[in-house]
Amino acid sequence: MKFFLDSASIEEIRSANELGILAGVTTNPSLVSKEGVSFHDRLKEITSEVSGSVSAEVISEDAEGMIQEGKELASIAPNITVKVPMTLEGLKAVKAFSDLTIKTNVTLVFNANQALMAARAGASYVSPFLGRLDDIGHDSMDLINTIATIFNQHGISTEIIAASIRHPLHVTDAALNGAHIATLPYKVLGQLVQHPLTDQGIEKFLADWHKQQ
Ligand code: E4P
């Protein structure tokens, strides 16, 4: 499983990129609006920093508007992936982008049929939202497993992005259940490398080393 960062903060993206594990970035309108900057300018900054896929979401609700917006976003850099909501209009737009060889990430996926429809329309990625499903008492890992099983059984190459990640266990479980990618909030990325026994071990090794000097 690869790692994307779920952020529009250029500082967070640069810092994650220094770790050498960053395969891409996802943004959404909420994350961009927190930044208080021009969306296109920020996308230029992100795409010059990160060589992998950078998802940029359209806000139109009709296919025509999504296609127009998506073309403009895709012209910013070759690694832009147009993020499209999981609606009937969204599927029409995904088909159009697929014909234009523009990559798409179908977002706000909450069941397996939505994922299958998106894949068949030509989506490069589907994004099932784990945290938001768990919040309403559903088993988000069951969904990842079901989508991965269907895609494997039917030879579908669309990649599954585990999104709406809230904690490190989501990451481990998404990997175990067949997600290709997890898109992580910066805070969770930091949590993945932490363990109290690692910290205690370093402290003990250094204390022992300094005793002998
Ligand atoms: C994914 O592409 C979305 O931007 C994101 O994971 C949504 O997460 P949230 O449910 O924490 O807003």
For ligand 1, atom 8, name the residue with the nearest CA: 164
Say yes or no to pLDDT of 212 above 90: no
What pLDDT, on the 0 to 100 scale, is given for residue 79? 98
For ligand 1, the distance from its centroid to the CA atom of residue 152, given in whole angstroms, is 25
Tell me how many domains the chain contains: 1
Q: From CA 123, how far away is CA 52, in angstroms rounded?
A: 17
Q: 7: Cβ below 6 Å to ligand 1?
A: no
For the CA of 183, the closest atom of ligand 1 is 6
The C-alpha atoms of residue 56 and residue 73 are separated, in whole angstroms, by: 7
Distance of CA 159 to the CA centre of its chain: 11
Is the pLDDT reported for residue 213 higher than 90?
Answer: no
Residue tagged active-site, from 2, 34, 83, 103: 83
Q: Is 127 in the pocket of ligand 1 (CB under 6 A)?
A: yes
9 token code pair: 């903060």
Report the chain's mean pLDDT, rounded to a whole number.
97
Cα(211) to centroid(ligand 1), Å: 48
- Kindly report the pTM of this predicted structure: 0.96
- Among 3, 5, 6, 133, name the best residue to mutate to test ligand 1's pocket (greatest count of ligand atoms within 8 A of Cβ): 6
User: Which residue CA neighbors atom 11 of ligand 1 most closely?
Assistant: 164
pLDDT per residue as tens digits for the range 133-187: 999 999 999 999 999 999 999 999 999 999 999 999 999 999 999 999 999 999 9
Can you tell me the mean pLDDT for 11-40?
96
Can you read off the two tokens belonging to residue 72? 């403009």
CATH number at residue 31: 3.20.20.70
pLDDT attached to residue 130: 98
**Cα-atom radius of gyration of the chain, to the nearest Å?**
19
Range of the domain at 10: 2-212
User: CB within 8 A of 129, min separation 6: which ones?
Assistant: 107, 108, 109, 110, 140, 163, 164
